[in-house]
Each structure stands twice: as C-alpha cells, then as structure tokens.
Structure 1
C-alpha cells in the first residue's frame, strides 16, 4: 500500500508541474514559413523575435486556458490530499486517498478537454508553404493527462484496500 501511496503522490506532483509549465510557456504551436519562424502559446505569440499578447484572444484559447487552470487547481488539490493521506487523518469519514483520487480524475478530465479544444480549433493551415507543428508545451499538457489518470487509479486502489476508518482501528 505504501507503493500505491508514493506512486500516486509522485504522479500527481509531476503532472502538476507539467500542467503549470504547459500553462505558462509559449511553445504550443510553431509555424515555419518562408523566412520567419513564429511560435505561440496560450498567453502570447512571438513572430520574428518580437512577442506580443493578443488583445482579443480566440475563444478556443480562452477555453483552453480556463480548463488548464481548473486542471492545475484540481491537480494541486490532489497533491495536497495525497500528501495528507500519509497521516491517519480523516475528515467526515473520508480519507485523503479518496479525495486525491476524485480530484486527480477531475484534473485529468479538464486536461483532456483543454487539449482536445486546442487541437480541434488550432489547426488551420491553408497555405502549403507554411509548416505548423505542435511543440513541447503542448506535449507537456498531453503528458500530464495519463499521469493524472494513473495517480487517480493508484489512489483509488489505496482507498479500496485500506481499512475503513472507525472506532475499531483506534
């Protein structure tokens, strides 16, 4: 059971770091064209070495930001509750491993929605001389998704296999 507890906490913390890195960096999409290279993220776009924040971002960018922020908050809650599961503390007969499992699954769902919205709306290339590729910030968000699922599974296994809190354990 200690292995499940450690693995779930490790996966939740690493996925939180991946989500935060993906959220703040600006290498989601890189465009190679003629003479210039441009890269963009959720907060700013850089073209030929000059970066700017769009005054009115597209709706899919706003939706991706919102779901990644929600995913980051849920992953933080999962990490905190899984850290608390190392103690024998229960809150209203609910253990930290169960709360960690629920919040990890919620973070995974929010991450999946954010990345799916970004993929569905960002790929518009009508010019054949321009090459667009997803870059490492995008892949960090994708990498967080299976880690959050594994953190949820490990903490759910921990919750199901540990004895129920009650007076008999005192």
Structure 2
C-alpha cells in the first residue's frame, strides 16, 4: 500500500509543521476591549504592541508546552520512520509502518492532552463582560494537527496490515 504510506508521510509532515507553528506563535488567546488589545501564547504576552515574557507562568501553560513538545518530537520520530520505510534495508522484527503508526497515534494523544488542558483552563476564564476573549489561530492550528496525526497513524497501520496480508515486508 504505497499510497497509504505516502499519504501518511504527508499528513504527519503537515501536522508536525502545524504543531511547531502552534507552539512558537503567540496568538492562542486574544482579549480586547474599547481601549486595548492583547494577545498571548505559550511563551509571551503582547499588549498594545508591547510584548513581554510573563513573570508568573501558570501550571496549565507549562503542561501545555510540555505535551506539545512531546507531541512534536513524537511526530518528528514518525516522519523519520515513515521516510525510512521507503528505504530497502530491513530492521529485523521491527516493522517501520507499524512503528510510525504507533508514533503518530501517540503524538496525537500528546497533542490532545495539551489542548484539552489549555482549553479546560482557559474556557470562560474571563469574568469581565466588557472584555471579549477568544481563542485564535495558533490554538486552532494545534487542534487541526490532532485529527491529521490520527489519520496518519491509521493510514500507516493500514499499510502495515496490507504488507502482512500480501506476504512481504517493506
């Protein structure tokens, strides 16, 4: 199933880029009122064009960072293993599409954990009705990577199962 492996490489690579963009950008939450505009990410906060690193980092931000970093590293591992699956050498008992499938699904679960923690802690945190607080594009990039990682894991698993059924290992 060459098509499944190619599609899995594409999905995993795109989701890795989305994860890294979500991790480094600072448009996770935007708050605005009639006077000022503020946006924040996992690393810094910007208010009216002036950006700074906050003195106090909340535990949920640290957990979100940690799980997104683990998701990115696991997704990178999946990409490397998937690219290696196109090379003719044998890894013994380890099947490359199966390993990539496991890595992609674990990366998706790390990603889900990070975004669930952030969403749960940020949801309706605003108590002032004059300030509008919304999730923004960095946050949504992280959520977009989640189903792509799961699909990449599924396609890689299908490639593994089809190679077993056809009687050869790739």
Distance 2:4 2:162 in 1: 10
Cα distance in 1 for partners of 2:144, 2:113 equals: 14
Residues 1:85 and 2:85 aligned together: yes
**Corresponding position of 2:107:** 107
| Residue of structure 2 equivalent to 1:66 | 66
Q: CA deviation at 1:102?
A: 0.5
Alignment length (residue pairs):
167
* RMSD (CA atoms): 1.5
Instruction: Write the distance in 2 (CA, Å) between the matches of 1:89 and 1:150.
Output: 26
Runs ≥4 in structure 1, deviation > 3 angstroms? none
CA distance in 2, matches of 1:27, 1:86: 37
Are 1:89 and 1:95, in contact at CA under 8 Å, matched by a contact in 2? no
For 1:76-117, what per-residue CA distance to the aligned partner results, in whole angstroms no more than 9, with x for missing partners?
000000001112333231121111000000000000000000
SS at match of 1:93: coil
Once the two structures are TM-superposed, the CA of residue 36 in structure 1 deviates from its matched residue by 0.6
- TM-score, normalised to structure 2, is 0.94
SS for the counterpart of 2:54 is: coil
TM-score by length of 1: 0.94
Instruction: Indicate if the aligned counterparts of 1:27 and 1:138 stay in contact, CA closer than 8 A.
Output: yes
CA distance in 2, matches of 1:103, 1:88: 21
Q: In the alignment, which residue of structure 2 is the partner of 1:117?
A: 117
Task: Please show how residues 1-170 of structure 1 align to structure 2 within 5 Å.
Answer: 1-123=1-123, 124-163=125-164
SS at match of 1:23: helix
Runs of 5+ in structure 2 lacking a partner? none
2:83 is paired with a residue of what secondary structure? helix
Matched residue SS, 2:7: helix
SS of the equivalent of 1:26 reads: coil
2: CA distance between counterparts of 1:71 and 1:43? Answer: 17
